[in-house]
Amino acid sequence: MPTTLSQLATPYTNTSTNIITLSQIPFVQGENSATAFSSEGSVFQMSTNPALDVVGFPGQGTRLFIGNGLPTTPMGNYPVQPNDPAYSYYAALPGGVNPAGTTPATGQPPTGYVNAAAIGISPYPLEGRIPLNPVVSGAYPINSLIVGITLTGAAWHVEKANDASGNYYNPLNALPNDKCYGHPYNQQYHYHSYSWKCFDQGTSGKQSPVYGFALDGFPITGPRGPDGKEWTNADLDICHGRESELDIPDGRGGFTKKLTYHYVLNREYPHSVGCFRGKVNYNQALGPDNPPNTPPGDFGTNPFMKEGFLYQNVASPTSPIRR
């Protein structure tokens, strides 16, 4: 990745201040439920198992996500239609090719998608195993597109978007998302930034609720702190997080109060997870395994959540790169 981001002079971006004006964004139209993309609708379940550990994280237990990748929040009209105000932005960016092994009829070799506007939404096998009781051990680079799983049943992606020339941008600067700040890549619907129109805002004047979990196991919350005031980046660390006492969903309909590190979704870039404060077993966090039951230390892949990349079944990296 380049050390700095490029910036597009979009009508909704002030290139001098880096401020994006929400009212000027031509959001992708449509508010479709998951049943528009699958007869099953949104399928998702989170469970916990304190006695079963993720490989590389002894004694930390497991938080398990199982679903079809379609969220309970509404999704825009994808593929983006030519009469949509956001169409020109998507048509200007490359569409890519779905990884080998995935089934959507479009986006396959040799041609792939003609552009990003042609990418639709499909269900896929979402499965992730992350530490139930993670430990802060450093500041680590993000080595996957997915950075976390939401309790609505979809994924968050890293806050970087590329063009055909290899330049990288803040995704909100480069592309108008739908009203929930989501869109598809390789048919996989995912969120960017803070879906303030679609996520439960919790109680005014109190801390924002937990919206999901990062791949290292730490919670991801909204922007308000315990006093009900919104945190800015000045209140957060290098990875866009800090420590608080949170009510953490236990996967059984209840909550566990715990003092823990967590990432914060707010209105300042990188908006969500900037780096990981704990190590990640990408092979387990971005399952399901292919081949199944990859032995510790071996490599496994999956064409859906892992985007076709090989990940070793270990806690990685072996040491932090930053302090």
Residues of the chain with pLDDT under 50: 323
DSSP secondary structure code for residue 99 in this structure:
P
Is cis: bond before 134, omega within 30 of 0?
no
pTM: 0.93
**Environment class of 26 (CB within 10 Å of its CB; exposed 0-12, middle 13-18, buried 19+):** middle
Per-residue pLDDT at 106: 57
Is cis: bond before 296, omega within 30 of 0?
no
Per-residue pLDDT at 323: 46
Per-residue pLDDT at 290: 65
Per-residue pLDDT at 95: 85
Task: Determine contact, residues 175/183, Cβ cutoff 8 Å.
Answer: yes
